[in-house]
Amino acid sequence: MAHVSTGPHIKGCCFWKQEKVLERLRFVPNNNKTQYGKNPSKAKAVRPSYPHTHTSYSLTKAATLEALTMASANALTSASVLCSPKQSLRRGVSHQHNNRVNYRQSRGRFVVKSSAKEISFDQHSRRALQAGIDKLADAVGLTLGPRGRNVVLDEYGSPKVVNDGVTIARAIELPDAMENAGAALIREVASKTNDSAGDGTTTASILAREIIKLGLLSVTSGANPVSIKKGIEKTVQGLVDELENKSRPVKGRDDVKAVASISAGNDEQIGTMIADAIDKVGPDGVLSIESSSSFETSVEVEEGMEIDRGYISPQFVTNPEKLVVEFENARVLVTDQKISAIKDIIPLLEKTTQLRAPLLIIAEDVSGEALATLVVNKLRGILNVAAIKAPGFGERRKALLQDIAILTGAEFQASDLSLLVENTSVEQLGLARKVTISKDSTTIIADAASKDELQARIAQLKKELSETDSVYDTEKLAERIAKLSGGVAVIKVGAATETELEDRKLRIEDAKNATFAAIEEGIVPGGGAALVHLSAYVPAIKEKLVDADERLGADIVQKALVAPAALIAQNAGIEGEVVVDKIRDSEWEVGYNAMTDKYENLVDAGVIDPAKVTRCALQNAASVAGMVLTTQAIVVEKAKPKSAAAAAPQGMTV
């Protein structure tokens, strides 16, 4: 029988290894009792001696619980008898009248050892940040434009060849702690842009680097960094408003294909594939990307739906690079009840573990002891589980849960029918061929066996739609029908090698995200031309600013806006400043096409960017740049001297 241990998990524990925390808080049993009999509050705490000097603390009850639970995921062994975190705590600590735990009374000691920190101020700190920012931005900037280069990442297994900005940014760790802090800020820009727009990570990184570089020069010259930050923010807001006015909506298949092709690195095959997928599921449909068993890449439409709810806890993530949960052939529990006691779902957890099947829990809420237990056992690899909250509210929530139950072939565990979760059997769970959960949404691709039931459900909803007179009901029923009948367009990616497959999947992911961003907020000229043209609107915004340093912030933004277009030209072997000057003198839709080496109407030529991607890149770059400019000191962990390797027996490598 599978055993599941309980207790929440929090990463890290005061600079000590987690197992040492438990070692210092362990209690000695005596014939299945504590040293002082049955009363655990008088248990004898044993602290082993160590050749270090430590500091003792009297910890609050909450702090002790946190320390214990921090260690539980890696240090506790599996328990055959399940207990709550509170029960686990009562086994080993004494509670005083003021809710404090006094380890002096029980002769126990909780030890904390801090590591030394290095602090840098003013110019030195800014130079270190700038150096780290430049190193990461230089690596990411190589990929910008249709003639951008690839970057090889040395990872586990075979090296990965990528052309994706955020993937490169996440892979870079600099040896110098202060420089790495600067690189981390650019990683933040890339990640935020990827999360909000799905593309434009390289553009955002280049913009941020340029704003920071120009801003730090001004601060060094004596300008007020806080006022510069305000000027940058006001200028960017004005430009975002102008961008919204200048963008135009997507018009048909050709625009979709153009956006997808440009985002995929001018790969027209990927652009055509994305356009085909959108044709099949509509602009509100769902696109899923997975590996193919052959060398060919194809598009198939399968039964499925998307739910506007993400994972309850990020600890459920199975793909750290994309921050998503990915399950295949998962069992699905569908209920409108709250789950807070772990005993309610222990039988299901044990059965699904025996079946070696992932478990997706869709409930009104999963909290308290139940959530803590799921998280700690997920982190320890005992369970393969994830939980999301049920979509919708009130009666609409029940209707949506019934739709999900029919889609997956599950039996809806409804509270008003007295179908309690603790009585649910494995046979009452649904089955999903694939589940993808992000922080905001969940995509479920149904098993083929549920197709007939799904079609019957759609027919029932269409009948209800034809009979209703309510405008609200009409809208909601139409939405449910669209979710169930639209299906999911699955792009099955094939390639000759694993390296090529990963690169191709990243390109298709970028193309998909850019396409939906374009559908949402419209399109603008690509190739960095939109940003160059926006720089012409900065003087009008600057005139409204009174403070001299705020006006300086506007000048910084104006100069930084041309950096992406200049770098695209540079990667194509052309002088960047010459290209920028010619774009400035042209109309809004005219720019430099690096692929054809011509100045032309980029919208007509199909060189277009989603307005949302441009907006998010500009806003996120300005946000992080403002934080850097107002930074006066850096605190990092001091580098530890490398110790000489211990002598090893002959034939053994240390």
CATH code at position 559: 1.10.560.10
Helix (H) or strand (E) holding 330: strand 325-334
Q: Which two tokens stand for residue 31?
A: 């014939």
127 shares a domain with 76: no
Mean pLDDT of 441-464: 82
On whether residue 265 sits in a domain, the answer given is: yes
Q: What is the mean pLDDT of the chain?
A: 80
Among residues 502, 521, 540, which one ends one of the domains?
Answer: 521
Neighbours of 346 (CB within 10 A): 17
Q: Determine the Cα–Cα distance for residues 461 and 478; give it in Å rounded to an integer.
A: 8
Among the listed residues 335, 322, 513, the one whose alpha carbon sits nearest the alpha carbon of residue 436: 322
Do 106 and 60 share a structural domain? yes
Query: Residue 504 maps to which CATH number?
Result: 3.30.260.10
Give the tokens for residue 597.
Answer: 């080496």
Residues with Cβ within 8 Å of residue 566, at least 6 apart in sequence: 528, 576, 577, 579, 580
The answer to the question of residue 504 being in a domain is yes
Residue 517's alpha-carbon distances to 170, 198, 514, in angstroms, are 23, 8, 5
DSSP string, 156-205: SSS-EEE--HHHHHHH---SSHHHHHHHHHHHHHHHHHHHHHSS-HHHHH
Residue range 280-293: average pLDDT? 83
Residues 439 and 291 in one domain: no
Rounded CA separation 437/225 (Å): 41
* pLDDT score for 61: 37
- Is 11 a domain residue? no
Q: With a cut of 80, say whether residue 78 has pLDDT above it.
A: no
- 8 A C-beta contact, residue 359 and residue 384: yes
pLDDT at 91 over 80: no
Within 13 Å and on the Cβ side, how many CA atoms surround 629?
35
* 14 pLDDT tier (thresholds 50, 70, 90): very low
Residues 6+ apart with CB under 8 A from 407: 303, 304, 305, 430, 444, 446, 450, 454, 484
φ, ψ for residue 156, nearest 5 deg: -60, 140
C-alpha dihedral, 373 to 379 to 385 to 388, nearest 10°: 80
Q: What's the pTM value of the predicted model, to 2 decimals?
A: 0.69
Owner of token pair 């509270």: 415
Within its chain, how far is the Cα of 294 from the centroid? 29
Residue 496 amino acid letter: A
Residue 138, amino acid: D
Summarize pLDDT for 18-49 with one digit per residue, the tens: 333 333 333 333 334 333 344 444 443 333 33
Are 164 and 198 in the same domain? yes
- Return the pLDDT at 113: 53
Local confidence band at 103 (pLDDT 50, 70, 90 cut-offs):
very low
Whether 181 is covered by a domain: the verdict is yes
**Which residues, in sequence order, are bridge partners of residue 361?**
333, 387
Q: Which domain holds residue 51?
A: 18-112
Question: Other CB atoms closer than 10 Å to residue 154's CB: what's the count?
Answer: 8
| Confidence tier at 288 by pLDDT (50, 70, 90) | confident
Task: Check: CB of residue 345 under 8 Å from CB of residue 354.
Answer: no
Give residues with Cβ within 8 angstroms of 495, minimum separation 6. 295, 297, 501, 504
Number of domains in the chain: 4
pLDDT tens digits, 129-169: 899 999 999 999 999 999 999 999 887 777 888 888 888 99
Residues 550 and 618 in one domain: yes
**HSE-up (13 A, CA, CB side) for residue 532:** 30
Domain harbouring 467, CATH code:
3.50.7.10
Q: Give the pLDDT confidence of 108-129 residue by residue, as tens digits.
A: 444 445 678 888 887 888 888 8
Q: Are residues 299 and 309 in the same domain?
A: no
Pairing relationship of beta strands 117-121 and 633-637 according to DSSP bridges: antiparallel
d(CA 71, CA 80) in angstroms, rounded, equals 19
d(CA 566, CA 215): 19
Higher pLDDT, 385 or 81: 385
Residue 80: pLDDT above 90? Answer: no
Which run of H or of E encompasses 461?
Answer: helix 451-467
In angstroms, rounded to a whole number, what is the distance separating the alpha carbons of residues 247 and 611? Answer: 6
- For residue 156, being part of any structural domain is answered with yes
Asked if residue 613 and residue 551 are part of one domain, the reply reads: yes
Return the closest-CA partner of residue 308 out of 408, 370, 432, 393: 393
In a domain, 654, yes or no: no
Q: What is the mean predicted confidence (pLDDT) over 448-468? A: 81
Residue 86's CB is within 10 A of a number of other CB atoms, namely 11
What is the pLDDT at residue 205? 94
Is the same domain home to 188 and 336? no
Each residue of 526-536: b (16+ CB within 10 Å) or e? bbbbbbbbbbe
Asked if the structure places residue 644 within a domain, the reply is no
Residue at a domain's end among 66, 94, 112: 112
DSSP code string of 116-129? PEEEEEHHHHHHHH
Residue (of 622, 561, 632, 617) closest to 229 by Cα position:
622
- Which two three-digit tokens encode residue 434? 């694939």
Is pLDDT of 500 > 70? yes
CA distance readout (Å), 238 to 342, 460, 584: 52, 50, 19
User: Rounded to whole angstroms, how far apart are CA atoms 486 and 605?
Assistant: 32
Domain boundary among 80, 112, 144: 112
Same domain, 138 and 241: yes
For residue 642, is it within any domain?
no
State the pLDDT at residue 87.
43
pLDDT over 60 at 535, yes or no: yes
Q: Which amino acid makes up residue 597? A: D
Indicate whether 497 and 531 sit together in one domain. Answer: no
Q: Which residue has the tokens 């009297």?
A: 58
Give the E-state strand segments of 234-377 in sequence order: 286-291, 298-302, 304-307, 325-334, 338-339, 359-363, 365-366
Q: How many CA atoms lie within 13 A of 524 on its CB side?
A: 25
Contact 293, 321 (CB under 8 A): no
Same structural domain, 467 and 336: yes
Find the radius of gyration of the CA atoms of the chain.
29
- Residue 362 neighbours by CB under 8 Å, 6+ apart: 307, 332, 333, 334, 335, 387, 388, 389, 390, 401, 404
Contact 602, 588 (CB under 8 A): no
Q: What is the mean pLDDT of residues 384-400?
A: 89
Distance CA 315, CA 312 (A): 9
Q: Could you tell me if 286 and 351 lie in one domain?
A: no
- Residue 559 is predicted with a pLDDT of 96
Please write the tens of the pLDDT for every residue from 583-633: 999 999 999 999 999 999 999 999 999 999 999 999 999 999 999 999 888
